[in-house]
Chains A and B, each alone.
Chain A
Amino acid sequence: QVQLVQSGAEVKKPGASVKVSCKAAGYIFTRYAMHWVRQAPGQRLEWMGWINGGNGDTECSQKFQGRVTITSDTSANIAYMELSSLRSEDTAVYYCARELPTGHDAFDIWGQGTMVTVSS
């Protein structure tokens, strides 16, 4: 069964970093791109960046001004998203999502989401 399983909820203080994992199962990890999307309470979905599952190339949204790092461990079929210098506005549910295999495409499989709360 194709699925993405994310790590559990996190509570962080302002200024800290958080690293969310996304374990893929049921498909060949290196053949697909993985994206990260977040959703703050009551807000629209917000794209953060993506990683090429095959060669590890990444692209991140300029909105995050270098605060986000996306990596992967192909031996374990896991993608990671690390967000640093956390602030209260980063409180959100963070999702990983697999891109359809044709490239430059929509997201067909999503993780269950990881709630990250930033609070002092």
Chain B
Amino acid sequence: DIVLTQSPDSLSVSLGERATINCKSSQSVLYSSNNENHLAWYRQKPGQPPKLLIYWASTRESGVPDRFSGSGSETDFTLTISSLQAEDVAVYYCQQYYSTPITFGQGTRLEIK
């Protein structure tokens, strides 16, 4: 199974500042047939299901604000929130869909400083 390890486990950032979350995969999730990284990012607020933010490592889902961006390739990935808003307080998860079992990171809790 592919293991995803996120860092940090929790993060405290001031409103308007940048937040960066990392996700490291135990093996490459770059799919040779389409040259895409099979990695996504989700945001989960308390009592709600996860919401897709980024897929193919860097493609923003429709309707997601452009302050969210994803980068990285193969085994190392980053989610960046360029200017933190109050509504971004949540837990963020990375997910690999390169192979089954599909797996998720342990989550990063983002709070306002």
- Seen from chain A, the residues whose Cβ lies within 8 Å of a Cβ on chain B are 35, 44-47, 59, 61-63, 95, 97, 100, 104-108, 110-113
Q: Are B49 and A106 in contact (CB under 8 A)?
A: no
Instruction: Supply 11 A–B pairs (Cβ within 8 Å), ascending by A.
Output: A44-B107, A45-B93, A46-B104, A47-B103, A59-B100, A61-B100, A104-B31, A105-B97, A106-B55, A107-B52, A112-B49
B78 adjacent to chain A (CB < 8 Å): no
Closest chain B CB from A65 CB (angstroms): 13
Closest chain B CB from A55 CB (angstroms): 17
**Contacts A44-B107, A45-B104, A110-B49 given; 17 further ones with Cβ under 8 A?**
A35-B102, A44-B93, A45-B93, A46-B104, A47-B100, A47-B103, A47-B104, A59-B100, A61-B100, A62-B101, A95-B50, A97-B49, A104-B31, A104-B38, A106-B55, A106-B56, A108-B52
Residue from A45, A46, A59, A110 whose CB has the most chain B CB atoms within 10 Å? A45
User: Could you tell me how many residues of chain B have their Cβ less than 8 Å away from some Cβ of chain A?
Assistant: 21
- Seen from chain B, the residues whose Cβ lies within 8 Å of a Cβ on chain A are 31, 38, 40, 49-52, 55-56, 61, 93, 95, 97, 100-107
